[in-house]
Amino acid sequence: MRSTLRSRSSWLSVLGAAPLVALTLLLGACGGGGGGGGSGGAGTTSSSTSSSGSTVTNTSPTPEALAANAVRVTIDAGVSNVPNMPFVSITICAPGTGNCQTIDHVLVDTGSWGVRIFASQLPASVSLPQQKDGAGNLVAECMQFFDGYTWGAVKLADLQIAGEKAASLPVQVIDPGYASVPADCAAVGAARNTPATLQANGILGIGVFKHDCGAACVQQALPATYYGCAGSTCTSIPLAETYQVANPVPYFTTDNNGSMLSLPTVSGGAPSVTGQLVFGIGTQSNNALGNAQVIGVSASNGTFTTVQNGTTYNHSILDSGSTGLFFQTSSMAACPSPNSAYYCPSSTQQLSATIEGLNGTTSAVNFSVGNATSIAQSYRGDAALPLLAGPAFVASTVFDWGLPFFYGRNVYAAIEQQATPGGTGPYVAY
């Protein structure tokens, strides 16, 4: 799931919730898939049986007991039966108190930055103070995704996930009843202001940046972004980074330079998959960078370059919040409606690409793309579909390496300005 706040360029405006919308169409008939690759990825998967009667069992090492800097990641039916969505549980507390609420099925999203939860999931005892900017304005946010938005107040919360804590963290509390949704926000697209429409109980954005908008919002008031509110009226405002919705990782006391998402290999559809999200890079024995390839990314928008079949996609991302690999190519046909967001090659395609970092690193990646219609017919009810790919709604310069890329890999996101064994962030590695 890709935030649009880091850039106003046309290529970014086509990313975000679109892959999720497309998958709801596919799910009317489908379940799992196959494929996956890479190395690493401790966790477990369950077995599934295709409609042809054959059983595919995915095996991987039994997960070790979780360390204090690690949390279990589960890919399951989730909130809306959408596959390829990695979930964790987080705990939200009123700052400085023991009044807390644990929220499950929060989407792990390496393609965005910041924590987003629903007001409807917080009991009255968990009363969060609203963020104010330097002028005393009550702050609200319109978080933009491709075809929609989340709206709500920015509030301060103590966040706990695994043994890590971030105090008084600015988070978005999604609430369609807060004030009046500004017209420029509503014009972005469909409201994603309920768990059913967001298809998760919240978002844990842990990409390579510390804040969701950054310097662009400091310099000027951007439309459909941050607002100062009085009563029911909200007006666009510039906002210093310290007040913006924040990635929690750099605000942990320790293990605060990045994260590692570790998922097992999946060969065929799997009803559920279990892995780990480990905080820190090179800070503990369980998050060593090892021989991972470090891919330098743009310091302004977190992108790198992918070259595939002679086409250069110079706005590429590693995005656990996208449910497939999304890129445009003329070498494969899209599926018939209603699954036209996905590719339907006549047989499973074994493909390769080269990822190029801004630091000069190049990395060859092999991946497979299956026929989404066949997957829909062969595997039903599975949560892990490693062969899903499509043109979706991405621009021609974008290669969105969604969750299928993460199966069987340890994938790292190093946060800007934070020192790591692989150098100072931002970078991604695998």
The CATH code of the domain that includes 229 is 2.40.70
**Which pLDDT score, from 0 to 100, does residue 378 have?**
85
Q: 367 in a domain, yes or no?
A: no
Residue keyed to tokens 């926000």: 185
Q: Kindly tell me the sign of the dihedral angle through the C-alpha atoms of 264, 288, 411, 84.
A: positive
384 domain residue, yes or no: no
Are β-strands 311-318 and 398-401 bridged in parallel, bridged antiparallel, or unpaired?
parallel
Nearest to 414 by CA among 427, 396, 402, 401: 427
Q: Is residue 184 a part of any domain in this protein?
A: yes
Answer yes or no: is 332 within a domain. Answer: no
Q: Would you say 427 and 355 are in contact if contact means Cβ atoms under 8 Å apart? A: no
Which residue range is the domain that position 187 belongs to?
62-251
Neighbour count for residue 247 (Cβ, 10 Å): 26
Report yes or no on 196 lying in a domain. Answer: yes
Residues 414 and 346: their CA atoms lie apart, in Å, by 39
Q: Can you read off the two tokens belonging to residue 50?
A: 């295709």
Q: What residue type is 278 in one-letter code?
A: V
Does residue 79 lie in a domain region?
A: yes
pLDDT at residue 417, as a whole number: 98
Cβ distance 201 to 105 under 8 Å?
A: yes
**391 is a domain residue:** no
Q: Please give the Cα distance from 12 to 2 (Å, whole number).
A: 8
pLDDT by 10s per residue, the chain, length 430: 655 555 432 222 233 333 333 333 333 222 222 223 334 555 666 554 433 333 333 334 445 679 999 999 999 999 999 999 999 999 999 999 999 999 999 999 999 999 999 999 999 999 999 999 999 999 999 999 877 899 999 999 999 999 999 999 999 999 999 999 999 999 999 999 999 999 999 999 999 999 999 999 999 999 999 999 999 999 999 999 999 999 999 999 999 999 999 999 998 889 999 999 999 999 999 999 999 999 999 999 999 999 999 999 999 999 999 999 999 999 999 999 888 999 999 999 999 999 999 999 999 999 999 999 999 888 888 999 999 999 977 789 999 999 999 999 999 999 999 999 999 999 999 9
Task: Name residues whose C-beta falls within 8 Å of residue 10's C-beta, 6 or more positions apart in sequence.
Answer: 395
Distance CA 256, CA 234 (A): 34
Pairing of strands 419-420, 423-424: antiparallel
In the chain, the number of structural domains is 1
Query: Does 257 reside within a domain?
Result: no
Most distant CA pair in the chain, distance: 65
- The reported pTM is 0.89
